[in-house]
Amino acid sequence: MNTDATQQQPAGGPAARWWTEAVIYQIYPRSFADSNGDGVGDLPGITSRLGHLTELDVDAVWLSPFYPSPQADAGYDVADYRDVDPLFGTLADADKMIAEAKSRGLRVIVDLVPNHTSSAHRWFQAALAAGPGSPERQRYVFRDGKGAQGAEPPNDWQSVFGGPAWTRVPDGQWYLHLFDTGQPDLNWDNPEVRAEFLDILRFWLDRGVDGFRVDVAHGLIKQADLADWQEPHEILSGQEVDRPRPPMWDQDGVHEIYREWRRLLDSYGGDRILVAEAWVEPAERLANYVRPDEMHQAFNFEYLLAAWTAPAQYAVITRSLEATDAVAAPTTWVLSNHDVIRHATRLALPIGAPRPNGIGIGDPQPDAALGLRRARAATLLMLALPGSAYLYQGEELGLPEHTTLPDEARQDPTWDRSDHTQRGRDGCRVPIPWEADAPSYGFGPTDASWLPQPPLWAEYALDRQRGVPGSTYELYRTALRLRREHGLARGPLSWLSSGDEVLAFTNGALTVLTNFGEASVPLPDGAEVLVTSAPLDDDGRVPTDVTVWFRA
């Protein structure tokens, strides 16, 4: 191996807090477990399946929204932040789920959606009724239009989901929605908005939740002049430290908000946390969100999107650790979630051609075997890195994207708002399989499923993998156990090889090697192999697209 003397010591150590080294499991409630047979997952279903998470040996769960909502964007259009949508159950069901999780040693993180409300929210309905210039409209971003009679949008901003980011109301004004028309952006320069969300935080903290994943955390503050933006409008906010910030993303004013939230959470005790969904690059900008008096974690999307090559992986891991170490925070690793194509499929696509949400129109069907092989290797690499890690429901089963979902079944607003040029995120949200031979593969008691499940789901079902050596499920269980036993979340990481074909590093007493090259590579003489993402060659060499943990 080519020796690289670089050593990276993450924040934390023997006295590290739980969130600096936790493995957190994302539950997408609509697709986890359906208790009543209506085809939609719910809170009682989640409660009934919590044993799976303790068996898997994760530390916490994060739940996507379950609040009352018209479901224009699968619950990310919230109509009431202090209740549960009947689709998912009741507040009593939420209390029971939280209590049951805690009894199993699992912490609970809930989603918070502060950038926008639903258009059905009582505040927005009051704003429509009150008219221009009213205090009710000051809670949102309303503006007069341009051109004759204000018939043109106030600026050129585009929705992340496609189409203009402005919609005109009957009295002639326009309201901003960086996402769907049913998701009007709040005006975070308004003290009333800030006070409301502090109260919402208190409501859920008082019910015992351990933290909040903050949706679109980099979008709350807009540039005051709402200037036109000629660059691409994607949610990712930039590539260079000194590049101008897009006027709708990553404005410095967001940090004042999170410092106030942090003070509130700290007043509760019990290590409650804030997690930023901030699509921000480069790593130095993202690290601003996890300074000591702000959030505790921020998803590392630069890592999620990195190419499957040794140089790309080395660069993003090194940059990420250096950036978070500079602010004494952990790095938070993630490979899949409800907004991106599952990594068991994404990694089968041509290297250098990422698909953030869904297979592109005209793309060939990915090689499922190649995708799963690389996904297992990527997961084993990720779980060996210092810091915290997030898993997305079903990835422990090796689930691929549903790439043949019928177009008529699609529900993601991206599909319609992009004029059917982007398939959207439905393919990663299909209800997961528990029992191969049960109705809806054990998702619920009937065959009903809000998105159709493909026939191949049977081969990925939990009951086909539990106890089966070499299965993806057992690989995850083994890796999570070894990660905990060997303190891999605490580091330090020391690079041994960072060439074009092989990455290798030590983490404590363990050595981790991933082979990206075409030829197999040897392990050191006498190496004690603890786990591999796929079998080694007969002569003990490491094949391509394989990660191995060993003791030298």
Cross-sheet strand order for the sheet of 493-498 = 7-8, 493-498, 502-507, 510-515, 546-551, 528-532
Residue 214: strand, helix, or coil: strand
Beta bridge partners of 146: 152
Q: Which two tokens stand for residue 27?
A: 């539950």
What is the C-alpha separation between 323 and 286, in angstroms, rounded? 8
What is the C-alpha separation between 274 and 94, in angstroms, rounded? 20
Give CA separation, 22 vs 205, 432, 538, in Å.
20, 23, 36
What is the C-alpha separation between 258 and 392, in angstroms, rounded? 25
What is the C-alpha separation between 127 and 121, in angstroms, rounded? 10
Tell me: cis bond preceding 386? Omega within 30 of 0 counts.
no
With CA atoms as reference, report the closest residue to 511 among 529, 534, 484, 538.
529
**Residue 328 in contact with residue 290, Cβ under 8 Å?**
no
Total residue count of the chain as it appears in this document: 552
Q: Which two tokens stand for residue 332?
A: 């938070």
215 is catalytic: yes
Write the DSSP assignment of 17-59 as a string of letters: -GGGT-EEEEE-GGGT--SSSSSS--HHHHHHTHHHHHHHT-S
Q: Active-site residue among 34, 180, 277, 396? A: 277
Q: Which two tokens stand for residue 10?
A: 């993450």
- Helix, strand, coil in percent for the chain, rounding step 5: 30, 15, 55
407's CB contacts (< 8 A; 6+ apart) are 415, 420, 423
CB atoms near residue 362 (< 10 Å): 5
277 is catalytic: yes
CB atoms near residue 83 (< 10 Å): 15
With CA atoms as reference, report the closest residue to 167 among 146, 181, 157.
181
What is the C-alpha separation between 141 and 287, in angstroms, rounded? 28
Residue 183: strand, helix, or coil: coil
Write down the H helix ranges in 207-299.
254-268, 283-286
What amino acid is encoded at 162 in this protein?
G
What is the C-alpha separation between 280 and 466, in angstroms, rounded? 38
Q: Active-site residue among 73, 210, 215, 401? A: 215
Residue 62: strand, helix, or coil: strand
Give CA separation, 414 vs 255, 320, 424, in Å.
29, 30, 5
Give phi and psi for 397, each to the nearest 5.
-100, -5
Q: Which residue numbers are catalytic?
A: 215, 277
